[in-house]
Structure 1
Amino acid sequence: MRSYTIRTNLTRCDAEGFALPLGVEASTLPCPAQGYTLEYTPSEDDLSEDAYSFHVVVSHELVRAVLHAAFSLLPDEVFPVIEVGSRDAYRSIDVFATPEMVNKRDFLEIWAAYEPFLLEDATIGAGASGDDPPIEVFLDAWKGVAIHVPVSQRDRIETMLIGLGLREVPETWPIDIERSVLSNSRVRDVLQIVDEHSPDLDELLLQMRESWGLSLDVDRDENIDEGGRALGYTLWHSIIVVEPADGSEHHGAYISIWSTAISLGQVEELIADTLAGMPEWSFQSIYSTDRVAFDERPEELSDLPPRRATVAVHQVGLDVWGDGGEPPPPDSFGTVRPPTNEDE
């Protein structure tokens, strides 16, 4: 794992004394009421209990205490989750989850390693949930803490929050806060990027995904947008991390694959087929896979027709990082010939 550093040249902004995460640069935002709001959610079936959702908003210096108190209520086995702004052309948020439980201690060890970043970056949210009892704790991108519990746990959560000096409030942020955010604030990077060896958000996301065993939480057999509209064949860009098949150390590569497919499952098959034609490299992980709007395709694909009705690999790029140290970000690729595809 390459270590990261939070930028030291940023001035923390505040909303009339309410400290914001470093990832938010704001001029004039209204001060929220610190405390929590409470929302009742009836059960959707007879097998589960009605629930309450707490949303806690506190100044930055108090977020960690609230979060750790909430984490202490989680059961011994949890399901981690990450949400981050998406580069996908048809989805605004990427959700990474796992159907497999993780030991709570292991979850918290990984959380501790990335907590300084998670508390400051305004594009990412993360948390965990458990089944017994069914409790969810989530730190959102603006560093509010959401706690979802069955009604039988309400008193327990309120006692915890009162112990932290917090009370229920009618609202935290004003109801029209989105308008103020759009006009008076912007998101900024919080990671210190000194050289090509400094990890960026994508690399930290990959590290957390691998540590918790997370994968993109989408239907791998469909290709739909956020509104549920079927998209059919779309352009995809995938970046794959590979290592030498002979086991040699201190170098590896990123493989960039541009393809047309009708689902993420098909894209993953194309990735496997591509790597089968490059036996000198062994698959390590998927760095990213995003759908790309046709008008945003690279210049090398300028001759690609706008309407395509076959699964195909259009371009494969290789970016090798060498023996002298750790891998650079995958920002440039040398083109190699894609494998033969009968559908192209």
Structure 2
Amino acid sequence: MTPKAGYVSNFEPSDGGGADAEFEEWPDRYVFDIVVSAERLPMLARMLFSMFDGRAYPILDVLGQDGYREVDPYISYDLVGVDVFLDGLREFGEWLYEDGMVGFGLMCEEPFCYAFVDEHKIITLRVDPALKERVEKILAAFDLEMAEGTAGADAAAHEHRNVLLAPDDKPELLGPDEALERLKMKWKVVLNVDPDTNVDDEGKELGVTHWRAVVRVDLPVEDEEAEHVPIDPTKVKYAEVVFEAANLREAEDVTFTQVENLAEEGGVAFEDGMIVLLDRLQEEQFAQVLTRAGVKAKTKAKGKGKGKAKAAPEEHEEGAGVVHVVRWLQ
């Protein structure tokens, strides 16, 4: 296959909406699918993001570790300054533009504009018809022409890979989980799934499943440090919780309850907590997590201390609310 830069464009009529509609209506728009070389991608993306004025809604898609969902879709439900979005792009641009496990973008409503760089680094743009000419001028400035089709990374067999792989003996190096954690804070994005159901990518109801959560708790700091943006490892602790739950809302409740109990039992005071990872586990993943924690599902814990896990009951229980592991991570 020969890489082929260019774009395709089509008109899409409005859909959804209406008083009884399940989803909010997207207005009439033009959609552009754009392929450009890796070297030119950052500049083109920045030019397209410059069409957003003031504030918009950041979007972040991650090919995560959830056992039943391929992509973790994050979005901000609060308007965020475009300057804040671009600041995150400057800070983590090398990861965002090169990593095969992450996509990112912005959306605003007035005028309607949606710009997204997917994990294949193909740009999808949906814009109000009034912005069509402006988009075409930007693409022409990059010598991109309309084509019958484009050939990007998704046009051939390929493998998705992380570009941030920190060695186990170099914990100070930034990995994908840490980068995601910081971007979630900066862009104020949250997982965009129905919190009251538990389904896989095909919509199949799963019922009660295994879950693993990692929570960052912020330790008390002096007042003058309260606005300290970088995550200082001396002022945070991380906890791991492995348990059973029937949906996301229940999983979040179990997670925070267990972390609060763990902190109280250990005499750890903290000001706030944030769920960094919250994934459902298939049986093989569940067994691996218990092994890493030094826990056997049918072994009853005799005690709990720093870095030690609280095991499941004597007979492995099934059902929502059962907790297998609660511990501080080193």
TM-score range (shorter-chain normalised) is: 0.7 to 0.9
| Matches for 1:88-107 after TM superposition, within 5 Å | 88-107=66-85
Which blocks of at least 5 consecutive residues in structure 1 are unaligned? 1-29, 321-344
Contact 2:259–2:326 under 8 Å retained in 1: no
- Deviation at residue 192 of structure 1 after TM alignment: 6.2
Residue 275 of structure 2 corresponds to which residue in structure 1? Answer: 286
Q: Deviations over 1:291-328 (max 9, x none)?
A: 001232224244377882332222212124xxxxxxxx
> What residue is the counterpart of 2:21 in the other structure?
none
SS in 2 for 1:152: helix
**1:162–1:245 Cα change, 3 Å:** closer
Q: Indicate conservation of the 8 Å contact 1:75/1:131, yes or no.
A: no
Residue 239 of structure 2: aligned partner: 255
Q: How far off its partner does 1:227 sit?
A: 1.3
Displacement, 1:196?
1.2
Matched pairs, number = 286
Paired residues for 1:1-344 under 5 Å? 30-44=1-15, 45=17, 49-173=27-151, 180-182=156-158, 186-191=159-164, 193=166, 195-244=170-219, 250-277=234-261, 278-279=263-264, 280-282=268-270, 283-297=272-286, 298-299=290-291, 300-303=295-298, 308-320=318-330
CA distance in 2, matches of 1:69, 1:292: 40
Matched residue, 1:24: none
3-state DSSP of counterpart to 2:156: helix
Tell me, in whole angstroms, the C-alpha distance in 1 between the residues paired with 2:241 and 2:269.
15
CA deviation vs aligned residue, 1:200-228 (integer Å, no higher than 9, x gap): 00100110000111111111111111111
Say whether the 8 Å CA contact 2:244–2:323 is kept in structure 1: yes
Displacement of 1:63 in angstroms is 0.8
Q: What TM-score, normalized to structure 2?
A: 0.80
- In structure 2, give the amino acid aligned to 1:288: L
Q: Cα distance 1:164–1:246, how it changes in 2: closer, same or farther (>3 A)? A: closer
**Aligned AA for 1:256?**
E
For 1:181, what is the secondary structure of its paired residue? coil
Residue type matched to 1:276 in 2? E
Residues 9 and 146, structure 2, Cα contact 8 Å, conserved in 1: yes
Q: Is the 8 A contact 2:297 2:324 kept in 1?
A: no
The separation in 1 between residues aligned to 2:54 and 2:154, in whole angstroms, is 37
Query: 1:33 touches 1:172 (CA, 8 Å); kept in 2?
Result: yes
**What's the secondary structure of 1:59's corresponding residue?**
coil
TM-score, length of structure 1 as denominator length: 0.77
Check 1:80–1:307 CA distance in 2 against 1; reply closer, same or farther (3 A cut): same
Mapped to 1, the partners of 2:279 and 2:165 lie a distance apart of 25
CA–CA separation in structure 2 for the residues paired with 1:296 and 1:235: 9
Matched AA of 2:279: D
Deviation at 1:48, TM superposition (A): 5.3
RMSD between superposed Cα atoms in Å: 2.4
Structure 1, residues 53-112: CA drift from partner, whole Å, max 9, x if none? 101101111112211110111121110010010210110000111110001122212211
**In 2, distance between residues paired with 1:316 and 1:108?**
37
Cα distance in 2 for residues equivalent to 1:64 and 1:151: 25
Distance 1:317-1:231 versus aligned 2 partners, 3 A rule: same
Does the 8 Å contact 1:80/1:126 carry over to 2?
yes
Q: Distance in 2 between matches of 1:103 and 1:84?
A: 22
Contact in 2 for aligned 1:33/1:169 (Cα 8 Å):
no
Question: Which whole-Å deviations, capped at 9, do the CAs of 1:154-174 have from their partners, x for residues lacking one?
Answer: 222112211221110011118
1:149-202 deviation per Cα after TM superposition (whole angstroms, max 9, x unaligned): 12232222112211221110011118xx757324xxx34432363611101001
